[in-house]
A and B are shown apart, each in its own frame.
Chain A
Amino acid sequence: MNTTKEKNIAKKKVVHSESSNGVSRTDRIAVRKTYKMFVNGQFIRSESGRIFGFSDGSNEVINISRASRKDFRDAVIAARNAWQSWRSKSAFNRSQILYRIAETLEGRKAQLVHTLKRQGLTEKDALVDIENTIDTFVYYAGWADKYVQVFSSVNPVEGKYFNFSFHESCGVVAIQDESGKGLSTLAAMIAASICGGNTCIVMASELNPMAAVELAEAIEVSDVPAGVCNLLTAYKNELAQQAALHMDVNALIYAGGADELSTKMEKSISSNLKRYVRFLPNQFNRKSLLNPYCILNVQEVKTTWHPISI
């Protein structure tokens, strides 16, 4: 038994540590990573002090923070506080910030592919998923300053009034990601929410915690203001319902299959009439996810009447 363990350790050293001349040192101990949650621009552990174990198939122990309901409430406060200034930013500015996320991710492609592989994807699937993830941010970066133009209207009402309708953000969006391994579906839900001025709280999939945290790390260094995008790692059975019930959350996006939990969640959104958006597994594809109507799902239409006569 001892020998197997030793072999594993040796193997890992080969994978993780390299000497300056590009050849792995056999005596180097790898530096492991602490996977923290991302709330209000900071990487934090759960206030509850709890963790859950995640395995990448090796013997390495990976402790993931297990968010509590209090963590969720704190994240809502952060998201709500960030919303006012985020939605007031120019659309061009939001567009550049989304594009910057793509730039950052491009530089971290190898790292993310590696992490997705550790979460169980094949090299090929991981690469496709990360490239889609990057392109998703580029796609929505482009929409940030265009969707209002495309979907707004000047309405030819009777009488001497100038009447127009346009979209604006609906507020704080909670995202429950059960799309499985990979980041591209999650990326679309985040990008479609924040490109239109919303702030969001992601509850990452239990299958996907490491890559999700690394996505948050990329977001953190991409000029996204604190609180605009928050990410929790949690048990869905513990937090999904809480998100649906929270009175200061305006919308809930859920990507996943139909099950008892999703129905329970849907019942709870009537607490404050949340907007509910749902992506079923057959929609985890580029046609459904790269689509300006995904932005409109978490927008409100405002109509203003203005007299013309004096």
Chain B
Amino acid sequence: MASKTIAKNKRVLDFSGGWTYAPAPESADHFTIKEKYDLFINGTFVKPSAGKYFKTINPASEKVISEVAEASEPDVNKAVESAEKSYQKYWSKLSGAERGKYLYRIARIIQERARELAVTESMNGGKPIRESRDVDVPLSAAHFFYYAGWADKLNYAFPGAEVKPYGVAGQIIPWNFPLLMAAWKIAPALACGNTVVLKPAETTPLTALKLAEIIQEADLPPGTVNIITGAGKTGAALVNHHKVSKVAFTGSTDVGKMIQNALAGTQKKYTLELGGKAANIIFEDASIDQAVEGIVNGIFFNQGHVCCAGSRLFVQESIMNTVMRKLKDRIETLVVGDPLDKNTDIGAINSKDQLNKIQRLVKKGIDEGGECHQSSCKIPSKGFWFKPTLFTNVGQSDTIVQEEIFGPVLAIQSFRTAEEAIEKANNTPYGLSGGVWTDKGSKIFKVTSSIRAGVLWANTFNKFDPSSPFGGYKESGIGREGGMHGLSAYLKQV
């Protein structure tokens, strides 16, 4: 039976046998996660004033890993006061060169504790260890290293102008890149001479608290960086504190709008890094296998919990069938499971809430007439998981095409001309990122210059670097983070 010849058009790739990987879990026995974490204020860990703690879990097992303090208004006040005191007493009096040396120290300790940070990140957030090890942690260290060097060179970034720091920066970060976002926020703020109060996301506080330990180890003046954990209320208290003169937020567009609204009339400066619904456009002259890899990386990187994820795919009509076949084959090979396993491609969904949201939107997509295709992979019984999902037969106004899902769900549409692709790509209130796949240089630049978004990837996707500015047009946010342009978020002209 096996020797029977199969007609050429009947051939299918069979991934059901011979493709299993032996488990290759990263161990977590070389470091400790404390049972309880307090608030990092004025250089030490202090108990929350209300005495309240909340549990933080591993989304892959739903097991409690630790308890963290919930900061209430008096704690926020204490943190901001200590940041203000440090600004007056130490940080604003240090020369840029000396500030830079503290940042270099932080970068070095992150590199030294890289493995611990990577494993903690994967345990607390559900992302594959391959990503936390190769992307999140090295980029975090690089970010501190990059901005360390700016601290004594700020005037070169603002020709013809004189600049000075704001004072205390209140920063709120999301759960998708917990350590990396902390680095994106803290490094430029400190380099520019501000002091910081940072609030990590409710579901992923652990690496930020380890960063607090690192800041302690680096011996920064007390209060220069304060890290307080809590939920939305803590964040609101921070944003509204009268001694915070600069707010930096990464998160959803809805919350971003609330913050912009709350800051009206206050003269506080703000930068907002918000949602996205990026278009990934693939032309018939693209290298298709390379493009398929890019599409997969674009949407399934970090379970799709990426604001700049390529969640809308536009395929030129002539290659639609080929791309769909290759894409379906490719997602069959994605390993979904234990985030700590080095073979894992897609880890756990960050939280129950997020899983519910993805499920609700996918159901809506099906209800609205979309065709849903999922990988046939098995998912663990415990924890939060979602299979890689493709949607076809969807239109511009469908929920699945318009709303940010923040999960491993790709909406696929076709196009005929470059003009059509550009128009469809721009038909969204968002404008964070975009991608284009083609072998023709002029086509790349036509598309990248026509798409209204802050970051454009040509024949690649989801690449990040400390020297590369990141941030959105339209409702994807205000301001840039990273690179020389990221400095202006933390300096005012005098």
Which residues of A line the B interface, CB within 8 A?
A: 150, 153, 155-159, 161, 163, 165, 168, 170, 250, 258, 262-264, 266-267, 269-273, 275, 291-293, 300-307
Contacts and interface: CB of A to CB of B under 8 A. Distances in A.
Chain A interface main SS type? mixed
Nearest to B451: A302
A303 B264 contact: no
24 contacts: A153-B483, A153-B485, A155-B468, A157-B463, A158-B142, A161-B460, A165-B468, A168-B449, A170-B473, A258-B265, A263-B265, A266-B265, A272-B429, A273-B274, A273-B475, A273-B477, A291-B160, A301-B454, A302-B453, A303-B455, A303-B470, A304-B455, A304-B456, A307-B458
B469 A165 contact: yes
Contacts of B448: 302, 304
Interface residues of B, number: 45
A163 B474 CA distance: 22
A258 B257 CA distance: 21
B9 to A, nearest CB: 33
Given A158-B465, A273-B260, A302-B454, A150 B159 contact: yes
Nearest to A250: B474
B272 interface: yes
Given A157-B468, A163-B468, A300-B473, A270 B460 contact: no
Given A250-B474, A300-B454, A306-B458, A270 B260 contact: yes
A139 B470 CA distance: 31
Contact of A270 (B257, B265, B473, B483): B257
Given A161-B463, A300-B473, A301-B469, A263 B458 contact: no
Contacts of B253: 273
B456 A156 contact: no
Contacts of B474: 250, 272-273
B258 interface: yes
Contacts of A161: 460, 463
Nearest to B483: A155
A154 to B, nearest CB: 10
Nearest to A272: B475
B268 to A, nearest CB: 11
Contact of A301 (B256, B257, B485): B485
A301 B429 contact: no
Contact of A262 (B159, B265, B457, B484): B265
A267 B263 CA distance: 8
Given A165-B483, A270-B261, A301-B469, 11 more contacts: A150-B159, A155-B469, A157-B468, A161-B460, A163-B467, A292-B160, A301-B454, A302-B448, A302-B455, A304-B456, A306-B444
